[in-house]
Amino acid sequence: MVSAETKPNSSSRFKLIDGRKLAYKERGVPKDKSNYRIIMVHGFDSSKERDFLAPQELMNTLRIYIVQFDRAGYGESDPNPKRSLKSEASDIEELANHLELRSKFYIIGFSMGSYPTWSCIKHLSHRLAGVAFVVPIVNYQWPSLPESVTKDDERKKWYKRMTWVAKYAPRLLHWWMIRKTSSSPSTDNSRPTYFTDKDLELLKKAPGFQFLTADKLKSRSVFNNLRSDFLVAFSKWDFDPLELSNPFPENDKRHVHIWHGSELNFVIEEKADMVKEKYN
C-alpha cells in the first residue's frame, strides 16, 4: 500500500501470467481509504510518468486513489510480442487483481490509450465502475463510422497509408521516422493534423511529456513497440464499438464519458457524439 506522501516517481513491478513484468505507480489517498479507485491508461509514446494533473488537495478531498502504469513495451514494462486488443485489457485486469482493487474500478483512457479502454468495455464491463475517454483516437476501419463523416477527411488516407507501411514495410517506416524527427524533433507530434499551437505550448510544460526524437527512434526495440501499438490501434478490430451492448444497464449510475476540446483535430466530433448517444 502506498500513502498519499509517496514520492511521485516511485514505482513497482509485478509478474503477469505470461511472465512479462508490468510497472506501475500509485497516487492519491491510501487505497483502503479511497472512494474512487482509478486506473489511468496512457497513450502513444507515453508512460506512467506523464502525470495526470490532479492536485493532491483535490485527491485528498474526494478520496481518490490513482494507478498509473506503463503499457506493454513502454517505460519499465516488458514488451508484448503478441500485443492485441484483448491482451491490453487482460494486462489491466491483472493489474487490478494484483492491487486487490474492489470488484469494480474506474478507468480513464488518454488518446491512443482509448483502444485498451474500448477493449475493457468489451471484455471487462463487469469490472468497471465507470469509464472516461480523454481525446480518444478514431479508427477509420470501424464499420460504424459513416462514409459521410470521413469521405473528405485527408487523415483517413494518411492512416491507411501508414498502417500499410507499418505492416508490410517496417524498415522503410523506421528509416522515414528517424529522418523525419532528425530534421525537427517535434515534427511528428506537431503536425497540424494533431495539435494546435496552444496544445504544443502546454505539452512542452507538461510533466513527463517528451517529443519523439530521432535518438529515441534509433532503438529498434522502441520502434518495434511503437509500431505494434500503432498497428493494433488502427488495424481492423474484432469488434465495433458502436455494436457493443451498453455495459451499464438503463438506470445504472455508472457512465461512459468522452472529453475532447473543440479544436482537437484528431477527434471527429460527429463520431464522439455518436458514441456519447450510444453509451449515455
Q: Rounded to 10 degrees, what is the CA torsion of 244, 145, 72, 183?
A: -170
Looking at the DSSP bridge assignments, the partners of residue 25 are 68
What is the phi-psi region of residue 28: left when phi exceeds 0, alpha when psi lies from -120 to 50, beta otherwise? left
pLDDT of residue 273: 62
* Residue 105, pLDDT above cutoff 80: yes
| Domain residue extents for the chain | 12-279
Answer CATH for 12-279 from 2.40.50.100, 3.40.50.1820, 2.60.40.10, 3.30.565.10: 3.40.50.1820
* Residue 11, pLDDT above cutoff 90: no
Is residue 182 very low, low, confident or very high in pLDDT (cuts 50, 70, 90)?
Answer: confident
Give the pairing type, strands 64-69 and 21-28: antiparallel
pLDDT of residue 6: 37
Which of 2-6, 69-73, 106-110 comes out lowest in average pLDDT? 2-6
CB contact at 8 A, 65 and 36: yes
Cell numbers found for residue 217: 527512434
* Residue 170, pLDDT above cutoff 80: yes
pLDDT tens for each residue of 238-252: 999 888 887 887 667
pLDDT tens for each residue of 49-89: 886 778 899 999 999 999 999 999 999 999 999 999 999 99
- Residues 132-136 have a mean pLDDT of 91
- Residues 114-135 have a mean pLDDT of 94
**Locate cell 507538461: which residue?**
206
Which of 123-132, 185-194, 208-217 comes out lowest in average pLDDT? 185-194
- Report pTM: 0.87
Which of 21-25, 194-198, 201-205, 265-269 comes out lowest in average pLDDT? 265-269
* Residue 113, pLDDT above cutoff 80: yes
Q: Which residues contact 248 (CB under 8 A, 6 or more apart)?
A: 125, 128, 254, 255, 256, 279
